[in-house]
Amino acid sequence: MAILDEMAAGQEVYSIDESFLDVTGISSYMPLERFGQQMRERVRRETGLTIGVGFGPTKTLARLANQAAKQWTKTHGVVDLSETRRQQK
């Protein structure tokens, strides 16, 4: 949680292994999928843990994106549902 708190503002710890981060503004200089990969790599490198990362405009969509990131290997552990067009399939 400390690593994630360093990477983005406004962390809300939801449970022992889940939190929500405020990533407002990050997408203006980097695609969220790339940011998610950076988060995964740093956590893996510093703790040895593998995490799933999901982005969404609501906590519900972020949790769904995270679940998809964990289940589908094609996502490489990161799913971004922040854009409406990605929510419609």
Which residues are part of the catalytic machinery?
A: 18
DSSP state of 40: H
For the stretch 30-40, what's the b/e string if a residue is b when 16 or more beta carbons lie within 10 angstroms of its beta carbon?
eebbebbeebb
